[in-house]
Amino acid sequence: MSKPVVAKPAIKPAKGSRTTGRATIIDVAQHAKVSAMTVSRALKTPQLVQQEARDRIAAAIKKLGYVPSQAASTLASARSQVIGVLVPSLTNAVFIETLSGIRDYLSQAGYQFLIGETGYSKAKEAQLISTYMAHAPDGFLLSSVGQHEILRQQLASSNIPAVRMFDLGKSNSEMTVGFSQTKAGYAVARHLIERGYRRPAFLAAQLDPRMMKRREGFRKGLMEAGLDPDVEALLSTPTTVDMGARLLSRILELNPDCDAVFCCNDDLALGALFECQRRGIKVPQQMAIAGFNDLSWAACATPSITTIITPRYDIGYKAAELLIRQLKGETIEKGRLDLGFQLAVREST
C-alpha cells in the first residue's frame, strides 16, 4: 500500500520583507513601533524626531540589517548623491591626481562618483554623458571647456550643472577650474629666450585643445622676440617617451641648428633627453629641454628637467567643491577659478 503524500507548506518570505528577503522601512517601523514616515524622517532629518524614538529606530535598523534604498532616496529627495566625472585617460598620472582631489572632496561631502574615460574624443564624451544620465547624476565634472554646443544644451535643458576642469572659460558665467594653458606656453618661450636660446622648437603629440593652446602661447613668445615660430614637430597619436626621441630626431634632421625644445608634456621631454644622450648632445649646453606637468620623476632625471608645475590635485578638489556649492544653492560669485601654474627651472635649461 502506497504511503500518503504529505504536502509541505510553502516557504514564505519574512514578514514585511517582500520577496527579496531584505528588511524594508516598514519592517523597521513595525519593530520600532513608529510609522514608516517617522523612520524616513529620522534618517533624513533626525533633529525633527524625538531622541527616544530615534533610539528605537536605530536599534531596529541594527537588528534587522536595514539598508536604505538609494533609488528610493533619489525619488524622495530628487538627488542621487552621484557625480559623473569624465577624464581623457585613466592611465595618465595627470588625471589620476585630479581624480584623487575629486575623491577627497566628494567623500567628505557624502557623494559618490562615476568615472568615464573619453580617450580625448568629444564624441565619446557626449556618449558617456548620455549614458550616465540614466543614473540621474546631480552634476558633472568634465575635463575640458571644448564641448559640442549640443552637449551644453543637453546639460542645460536637463538642469544638470557641470564644472569644466584644466582650462578656463571666457567668463564667470561658465564654471571652470584650471589655469591658462596659453600663458604657460608663453612662460616657457620667455624662459628659453632669456637663457639665450635662439632656435627653439615645439614638440607635441595627441594635439588636443590644451596642447594647441600651449603651442599658441609658445609661438606668441617667440614671435615677440623676432624668432621663427615654425620650428616644430607635431603628431596626433598619443604621447609616449619613445615618441619624444623620434620627434627630436625629426626636428634635428630638418633644423640641425635647433638649440632648445619645449615638449608638450614630460613624457616627450624625457624621450628627448634620452635621444640627446644617445647622440652625445650636451644638455643644456647644446640643447635645452623643457617639459610640462612636473611628473614625479622630472626632478629626478639627469639632468633634472625644467617643466611647468600644474595644480592637478587642486583642480579636482576645487572643481568638486564648486559643483557641490552650486548644488547646495549657494551664491557663486566667481565661477572661473584660475589656480595658476609655476615654472620649475632645473638643470635641463
For residue 78, what pLDDT is reported?
A: 55
For residues 227-255, give the mean pLDDT: 96
Amino acid at site 272: A
**How far are the Cα atoms of 21, 41, 56, 246 from residue 66, in angstroms, in the given order?**
11, 15, 13, 60
239/43: higher pLDDT: 239
> Which tens digits make up the pLDDT trace of 112-164?
999 999 988 888 888 888 888 877 889 999 987 665 666 667 777 678 899 99
pLDDT band at 166 (very low <50, low <70, confident <90, very high): very high
C-alpha cell at 170: 571666457
Q: Which residues of 200-211 are buried (b: 16+ CB within 10 A; e: fewer)?
A: bbbbbbbbbebb
Distance of alpha carbon 99 from alpha carbon 38, whole angstroms: 38
For residues 223-235, give the mean pLDDT: 97
For residue 13, what pLDDT is reported?
A: 42
Delineate the domains of the chain, giving CATH numbers in brackets. Answer: 25-69 (1.10.260.40), 80-179+313-340 (3.40.50.2300), 181-309 (3.40.50.2300)
Is 347 within 8 Å of 269 (Cβ atoms)? no
Is the pLDDT at 71 greater than 80, yes or no?
no
For residue 235, what pLDDT is reported?
A: 94
For residue 146, what pLDDT is reported?
A: 61
Q: Which residues of 16-26 are buried (b: 16+ CB within 10 A; e: fewer)?
A: eeeeeeebbbe
pLDDT band at 69 (very low <50, low <70, confident <90, very high): low
60/244: higher pLDDT: 244
Is the pLDDT at 217 greater than 60, yes or no?
yes
